[in-house]
Chain A
Amino acid sequence: MSAEFDIAETLDVKGASCPMPVVKTKSAIDDLAPGEVLEVVATDPGSMSDIDGWADGTEGVELVDQTEGDDVYNHYVRKTE
């Protein structure tokens, strides 16, 4: 799955549970430039639904991809504006 997109920054929220993965994702995305992609690495299974829902309901961000490994959930969010 080597990329159709470059990862500008990686945010490690392993261990953190609701609401921190979403809250920290929001803060990290604020620091990116439009077009850049943030990788979020989480262990919270709820982050799959939560980051999807957050990206869907938030202006200026777009969920590019989500992958699920062994108890690790990777999210790729692009800042669109």
Chain B
Amino acid sequence: MSTDTPDASAGEAQTEDASTEDVPADEVPSRAELAARVDELEEALAEATAEDGGKKMSIIATKGTLDMAYPPLILASTAAAFGYEVTVFTTFWGLDMLHEERSKNLQLSSVGNPNMPVPNAVAALPGMDRVTTKMMEKRITDNDTATIEELLETSLEMGVEFQACQMTIELMDYDEDDFYDGVTTGVGAATAIQDMAEADIQLLV
């Protein structure tokens, strides 16, 4: 290996076996041995990649406002279209997007968002969240943007696995029957960690 460097070629050692000087001859692997080793490694690599199957994405969805329910559902359905095996683990308010009744009624907060057209002092008045939510819902309809319900049902059809955190189900006093058919319940953080560890893409929304 070192015979190519200027240092080594500059001086004394012009002998053929200069590169193996420091290794006893019987420990130098033969060409056949190297080829066998390469075959072995290639096989192991093929096995390792095949075992894993397809690409995976793991999303943790923690928000249940109308605006924040969109990103995980859009990304989940799109990744499924790419052939990813997608898991969406929902916790806290994220469960609301899986809740048949509540998912149709997600609200937009008019306070705390400086991009809203109304000042916070006005936005905090009773009923303002309802107003901004109605405005957003109208935009969604006018633009033919998919609704949360449509995105959720499309994602379920495409094989996205939605999980509702068991601790949150109990905390919020939800019933397992409240969720869309196909939603997985009875799971916790360890399930989410396991999915994230195996995933090619992990997102917290």
Contacts and interface: CB of A to CB of B under 8 A. Distances in A.
B62 interface: no
Contacts of B151: 19
B158 A17 contact: no
A27 B83 contact: no
Interface residues of A, number: 15
B181 to A, nearest CB: 19
A42 B26 CA distance: 69
Interface in B125-179: 143-146, 151, 154, 157-158
Interface in B66-102: 74, 77-78, 80-83
A57 B154 contact: no
B145 A17 contact: yes
B97 to A, nearest CB: 15
Chain A CB count within 10 A is highest, among B78, B80, B81, B82, for: B81
A4 interface: no
A16 B83 contact: no
Given A17-B144, A17-B145, A59 B83 contact: yes
B82 A23 contact: no
A71 B88 CA distance: 35
Contacts of B144: 15-17
B143 A23 contact: no
A54 B81 contact: yes
A18 interface: yes
A19 B82 contact: no
Given A54-B82, A58-B83, A23 B145 contact: no
Nearest to A18: B74
Contacts of B74: 18-19
Interface of B: 74, 77-78, 80-83, 143-146, 151, 154, 157-158
30 contacts: A15-B144, A16-B144, A16-B146, A17-B144, A17-B146, A18-B74, A19-B77, A19-B78, A19-B81, A19-B146, A19-B151, A20-B146, A20-B154, A22-B78, A22-B81, A23-B77, A23-B78, A23-B80, A23-B81, A23-B158, A26-B81, A27-B157, A27-B158, A54-B78, A54-B81, A54-B82, A57-B82, A58-B81, A58-B83, A59-B83
